Structure 1
Amino acid sequence: MRDFARLVDLIEGIVDFEHGPNISPEGLSKGYTHAVMITFSSQAFRDAYLIHAAHLAFVARLKPWFDEVLVFDYGI
């Protein structure tokens, strides 16, 4: 998670970053063990993050460690 947290300092528009393990007793996580939430100051900054070189390098470096990811966005 340190690599993920470093993106906060490298990419403009990230206003919050949270992460943690699944602790739900409901058994509905479908195998997902951890969650990461990034809050952006706008959708434009989210879009810039997706194509930012630091984010793309992060994804390339860690992709082999993940069987699957789930991503969804919502407005606040």
Structure 2
Amino acid sequence: MTEAVLRQLLEQNEGFEDETTTRQKNFQERRQYRITGGQLRYRATGKTSWADSRFDDEYVATDDQARRFLRPRLDKLNTDGL
């Protein structure tokens, strides 16, 4: 996925949201993704096995992270003109 295609997908899909969950033996995480302002942003919340190990962080995805997020969701996205 080229830089131009990535930018076009992010611009055409403003407001798109999705979420993922991960559960392992000593770790659980929920990620809420949203395309806004031409960027993929996500919020990661969860906990580990330690009593005080809850987390709630927000990030702007790198281009590589955005590509890994978008590729499996192309059937849900507006891909007109690509």
| TM-score (ref. length: structure 2) | 0.28
Higher relative contact order (CA 8 A, sep 6+): 1
| TM-score (ref. length: structure 1) | 0.29
Q: Quick check: which one's strand share is greater? A: 2
Q: Quick check: which one's helix share is greater? A: 1
